[in-house]
Structure 1
Amino acid sequence: MANNTTHIGLLQHGQVDAGNVFCGELDTPLSKAGWKQLKQAFGRGAAEWDAVITSPRTQCAAFAEWFAQKYDLPLVRDERLREIHFGAWEGCSPQQVMAVHPEQLAQWWLNPAQSAPTGGENFGEFRARVLDVWAELANAYRGERVLAVTHAGVIRVIMAYVLQMPDERLLALNIEYGALTRLRVLRDRSGEWASLLAHGC
């Protein structure tokens, strides 16, 4: 592969034991179904990747460690790939939040960039750290193919940046458990160009 090209895969972790709840700071293991989702998708895909980078959260790191060890790939844990902190919503389902704070949840659905749960992470700071690691990936893995195991919010921020979507449209991007988003970064004399190759495969 030419050293002016980087291929980046963004893998959403599988289903988790905690269920359908807000998991930002919550460290929760993958469920059996979650492991099955990821192993079926990547059990024979090691030849596609040169390195693995992962969020430190258990729902990401456990599979990343298994995959890297199984196929003898270098593994890096990066705190910047953490999901956004959901504050008071951590560990709660959307239905539970709706029962207590319906207006706040509705505002968040409409524009997550302008509305945050009580005690939650500032969206601007979240976006900055995610785009920081994105820029670093494109440069650190020139000529390589790197798989990043991370969270839905992280993937949405990167996709929105590449597609030049407004932040308020983030939740229009559907991110399924175990889904892979593929991007490519090219560099030439005129600059750096990122493009979306596939999403949800």
Structure 2
Amino acid sequence: MANNFTHVGLLQHGAVEAGDVFCGELDTPLSKAGWKQLKQAFGRSSADWDAVVTSPRMQCASFAEWFAQKQDLPLVRDERLREIHFGEWEGHNPQEVMATHPEQLAEWWVNPAQVSPAGGESFGDFRARVLDAWTELGRAYRGERVLVVTHALVIRTVLAHVLQMPDERLLALNIEYGALTRLRVLRDRSGEWASLLAHGCG
């Protein structure tokens, strides 16, 4: 039975040089504070993982590459784990977006699944690719422990799926920089069963 379990750690990347702006397609390096957040949590980690999977965005992949090399772990980049594309909001902070698109941003805070910024990715398309990646993790890493370095809305979408939360509660899930969410997936003859083990731990 134990070999049917996959343990997944969803790691939110650290703070970035671009600051607190909407970063979906935006490639931005980790700031010094961001590197410190991640290294404090994982730099002294024992061999607790069997593999690392990362979003290809720089803010995720740079740490994933460093950690995988340090721990001598296989590393996979998965395009499906990118953050949602925020369209015209990319590179702008919420205050700036509020000044130009106040009603749209207010609607997004209430339910991000119902609002797509101009030029951005639809939430339906985003959720489909994220959950496709999530399903594959349970299959590809059965019996293993995989660390996934990704973005806040990706983590929220997976958690909402596992916990069967309504879309309007997505942003109620607080995702801090450098925080880890641990889940366990069981696959057996009756299907796939996922459970939340810990959320927001360092």
Query: TM (normalized to structure 2)?
Result: 0.97
- In the alignment, the residues of structure 2 paired with residue 102 and residue 189 of structure 1 have an alpha-carbon distance, to the nearest angstrom, of 49
Shift of 1:46: 3.9
SS at match of 1:175: coil
Q: How does 1:1-201 map to 2 (within 5 A)?
A: 2-201=2-201
- In the alignment, the residues of structure 2 paired with residue 12 and residue 125 of structure 1 have an alpha-carbon distance, to the nearest angstrom, of 21
User: Could you list the runs of 5+ residues in structure 2 that have no partner in the other structure?
Assistant: none
Tell whether the 8 Å contact from 2:15 to 2:33 is kept in structure 1 after alignment. Answer: yes
SS at match of 1:33: helix
Identity %: 83
- In the alignment, the residues of structure 2 paired with residue 189 and residue 127 of structure 1 have an alpha-carbon distance, to the nearest angstrom, of 26
Structure 1 segments (4+ residues) deviating >2 Å = 187-191
SS at match of 1:197: strand
- In the alignment, the residues of structure 1 paired with residue 139 and residue 26 of structure 2 have an alpha-carbon distance, to the nearest angstrom, of 30
Shift of 1:112: 0.5
- In the alignment, the residues of structure 2 paired with residue 85 and residue 133 of structure 1 have an alpha-carbon distance, to the nearest angstrom, of 17
Shift of 1:167: 1.5
Shift of 1:74: 0.2
Q: What number of residue pairs does the alignment pair up?
A: 201
Q: Deviations over 1:12-37 (max 9, x none)?
A: 00000000000000000000000000
Q: Deviations over 1:62-107 (max 9, x none)?
A: 0000000011000000000000000000000000000111111000
Larger mean CA deviation between 64-73 and 45-54 belongs to 45-54
- In the alignment, the residues of structure 2 paired with residue 183 and residue 126 of structure 1 have an alpha-carbon distance, to the nearest angstrom, of 21
Shift of 1:187: 2.4
User: Could you list the runs of 5+ residues in structure 1 that have no partner in the other structure?
Assistant: none
